A and B are shown apart, each in its own frame.
Chain A
Amino acid sequence: MSISYWRLKDRYYRLIGVSCEDCKSEFFPPVHVCRRCGSRKLVDRDMPRTGKIVTYTELRETLAGFEDQEPMLLCIVQLENGVKVLGQIVDTTVENLSIGDKVKAVFRKIQEHGSSGQIFYGYKFVKA
């Protein structure tokens, strides 16, 4: 986990996805083949950091390792470029969420391996 996280740190820290060199379509998570034109020429591209909520939930039974964050708010955000991203939404409560709400990406702690293991950071969303 520490190593796969290291490999993906720019994706997690900076929302770097990919863009198709042939048709300019953008993707996050990154793809190996363009979904629009089939091109395999994909280059890294910063995703917009703002978007709107497409759907959301308040999860009350978290995965192992996330218990401290219960209840956890999760959402799918459609970024300004149309790309959809899954992430937590923080600094709010489920009562204050609606589909269509504007959000922006922030940098937060995603999980940590106990008090002696590594800390993993990445994007989450807050209401804009």
Chain B
Amino acid sequence: MKTHYDVGIAGYGVYLPLYRLPTTEIARVWKGGGAGPNKEKAVASIDEDSSTMAVEAARRAMDMAEVSRLGAIFVGTESKPYAVKPTSTIVAQALGQHFVLASDMEFACKAATEAIQVIRGLVGSGMIQNGLAIGVDTAQGRPGDDLEFTTGSGAAAYVLSRSSPETLATVEAGVSYVTDTGDFWRRQNEKYPRHLSRFTGEPAYFHHVETSVKQLFEAYGLKASDFTYAVFHQPNPRFPVEVAHRLGFKAEQIKTGLLNPMIGNTYSASSPMGLAAVLDEAKPGDRVMIASFGSGAGSDAFALRVTDAIEKKRKKAVKVADLISKNTKIDYATYAKFRGKFTK
């Protein structure tokens, strides 16, 4: 997938809610003890939803990007507060941006990279100057379901612009791959999703991520060792490590962007937030690969190159590491109150 003009990242912003639920709390309530695969997960407060977190991440991205006008706002999420009524217009209003193409995108955990791909096309064709792609979720697992250990909340936003000395990274390449695979779903009007347990592994996550990354390598003549960093979608701490290994990446390439153990799976924000963690420390010239995964199923993979602008731009960054380390632990009861479990 090539663009007419080169497209880069003008700004990025991440939002993580303050609260963390240790998975030992979930295990205490539902399993009689132990812990989940991740240590903690980020939990949105009682007055937060994907609209509020999208706005917070977007404001941070816009602060860094320093662009006055946006041409598009896409919010990728599977936890919309309204089934019908866009989140993207709430973000547009909060940013004071009205002459924009605004839409919500849904593709399980890859809705945000999909938004990045579309905005890349709009900017790359010259149709718009700047576009905002946001990945945000307040992921919900049925109480007691294994999924509940990992389902987290967070947001990551990217302002994409035509490449210039002001863009901090250039999107060098991008591919998308999809099949009809029913590994995880939520029917209209259902509160919690369902999944097919181990089926979410090989036929779903691994097949799609491996295929998209191999396609990226093949189409653009790239290999794992060309990248300083790689970021994968992280539904749990194990899958991204395993898929990186299969694709020839080394542990140090994926370490920075692997956030699941501390915050869980933030769904649409998961791999975009990993990318932000990488951009918080990358050097000019570094190449970064990001591959998302969305159930249903598909994967987008991109190759980026960090530019000289990174040093100046990220002075404005609210660093992912700081957002992760600044937190307040809560117990299961508070989590249940915040997220409306068992109340109705």
Residues of A within 8 A of B (CB): 9-10, 13-14, 68-69, 88, 90-91, 106-110, 115, 119, 121, 124
Contact = CB atoms under 8 A, between A and B. Distances in A.
Contacts of A10: 93, 96
A13 B94 contact: yes
B93 A107 contact: no
B49 interface: yes
Contact of B52 (A68, A69, A107): A107
Nearest to B326: A91
Given A91-B18, A119-B81, A121-B52, A108 B93 contact: no
Interface in B41-78: 45-49, 51-52, 55-56, 59
Nearest to A6: B93
Interface of B: 18, 45-49, 51-52, 55-56, 59, 81-82, 90, 93-94, 96, 328, 337, 344
Contact of B56 (A90, A107, A109, A119): A107
A88 B47 CA distance: 11
Contacts of A107: 52, 55-56, 59, 94
B45 A90 contact: yes
A88 B94 CA distance: 18
B81 A106 contact: no
A37 to B, nearest CB: 28
Contacts of B94: 13-14, 107, 121
B51 A121 contact: yes
Contact of B93 (A13, A90, A124): A13
A69 B96 CA distance: 28
A13 B89 CA distance: 12
Contacts of A109: 47-49, 51-52
Contact of A119 (B18, B45, B82, B93): B82
Contacts of A119: 49, 51, 81-82
A124 B47 contact: yes
A69 B93 contact: no
Given A14-B94, A108-B48, 14 more contacts: A69-B46, A69-B47, A106-B56, A107-B55, A107-B56, A107-B59, A108-B52, A109-B47, A109-B51, A119-B51, A119-B81, A121-B51, A121-B94, A124-B47
A68 B93 contact: no
A90 B49 contact: no
13 contacts: A9-B93, A10-B93, A14-B96, A68-B46, A69-B47, A107-B56, A108-B48, A108-B52, A109-B47, A115-B344, A119-B49, A121-B55, A121-B94
Contacts of A110: 47
Nearest to A93: B328
8 smallest CB-CB distances across A and B, nearest first, come from A107-B55, A13-B94, A109-B47, A108-B47, A91-B18, A107-B52, A108-B52, A119-B81
A91 B46 CA distance: 10
A60 to B, nearest CB: 15
Contacts of A88: 47
Nearest to B82: A119
A108 B231 CA distance: 30
A110 B90 CA distance: 14
Contacts of B45: 90-91
Contacts of A90: 45, 47
B52 to A, nearest CB: 5
A79 B26 CA distance: 41
Nearest to A126: B18
B71 to A, nearest CB: 20
Contacts of B59: 107
A10 B93 CA distance: 7
Contacts of B96: 10, 14
B81 to A, nearest CB: 6
B90 A121 contact: yes
Contacts of B48: 108-109
A10 B98 CA distance: 12
Contacts of B82: 119
Nearest to B55: A107
